[in-house]
Amino acid sequence: MQTKKKTLIENLKVNEIVDDIFVVKFKKPVEQYKNGFKFELRLADSSGEIMYKFWGPNNEPLVQGLYDSIKDGDVVYAQGRMNEWNERLEISSNNDYDIHVLKEEDYDPKEFIRKSEKSIPQMMEQLNHYIDSIQDAEIKRLINYFFKNESFVSKFRHWPAAMYIHHAWIGGLLEHTLNVLKTCDFIQKNHFKLNRDLLFAGAIFHDFGKLKEFEISTTIKVTNEGMMIGHVMLGLDMVNAAMEELNIKDELRLKIRHMILTHMGEYGSNKTPSFPEALAVYYADKMDGDLDHMQDLMKNAKTDDDYIYTKHYGNVYLK
């Protein structure tokens, strides 16, 4: 029988006794403190993350053994008390039997990854509406090469767009792609000389590489391909292979490759957008990612201050 979560991290309160299951995001090594040896884990569920601090006895082999029994990505059953330290909630325990690893059959991995707040079927319906509206036969044939493939669609509709920064949840890639498409649609209506079908192709293909950059288990992880190559080149390879198979015309192939290659501007390539449709995809992608990221930072800010400082945006106003 599977163990079910009782309370989401976002609903935990100070001084409560915690008795629940979590996924381990990362570990901090064993170190000595006044009364013995301790270690810390960052635990997570679909609502957020929290630190778990184990305050062990003056028995380093025991504490080290417990620490070594737990791996990143494991699902653990954990007990402890909710404390507050430096204005942040954390779980504390000093009993070695308060935490242990569960077997795979003892939990549902879907409980630990955040999900899109939007309906995946409805988002797919909207995406298909945009695809159906494309007039250029070659572009539509190329897009349908992927979106008429049930296996591809099944993966695309559930995949995350990131580990942390933006749309880092089940359905995140679909949600982000649709947002970029909608923004590009708006841009084209105000700059009508832009090639609408080419613009839509860039919006749809720009993050395809994330299907190979990330993998999903109990957490979202970067694959070896993602770490060594990155989603820009992975996506470029995917779409270019399809264009070669379908004998897409050289000029169109070049433009689509360029839009994928330059959608992150100077951060993802040594090339920057060289024509208006590529520039529009770049700004639509950046705007959606940054807006989602900033709103997430504001939502998760644990302070009564008016501002938080972030490396990416500087001061963010919370009121």
Full pLDDT tens readout for the chain, 319 residues: 677 778 888 888 888 899 899 999 889 999 999 989 999 999 988 888 899 999 999 999 999 999 999 998 899 999 999 998 877 889 998 887 788 999 888 888 777 888 888 999 999 999 999 999 999 999 999 999 999 999 999 999 999 988 777 788 889 999 999 999 999 999 999 998 999 999 999 999 999 999 999 988 888 888 999 899 988 899 999 999 999 999 999 999 999 999 999 987 666 667 888 999 999 999 999 898 888 878 877 776 666 677 677 777 777 777 7
The predicted pLDDT at position 66 comes to 93
The reply to whether the predicted model has a pTM over 0.85 is no
Domain ranges within the chain, ordered by starting residue:
9-112, 120-299
Query: Which pLDDT value is given to residue 216?
Result: 86
**Which fold, 9-112?**
OB fold (Dihydrolipoamide Acetyltransferase, E2P) (2.40.50)
What pLDDT shows up at residue 73? 86
Query: In angstroms, what CA-CA distances link 282 with 91, 271, 279?
Result: 42, 12, 5
* Single-letter code of the amino acid located at 157: R
pLDDT at position 300, please?
Answer: 66
Q: Does domain 120-299 have CATH number 1.10.3210?
A: yes
Question: Which residue from 84, 105, 207 is spatially nearest to 156, judged by alpha carbons?
Answer: 207
Identify residue 318 by its one-letter amino acid code: L
Contact indicator for 127, 177 with CB cutoff of 8 Å: yes
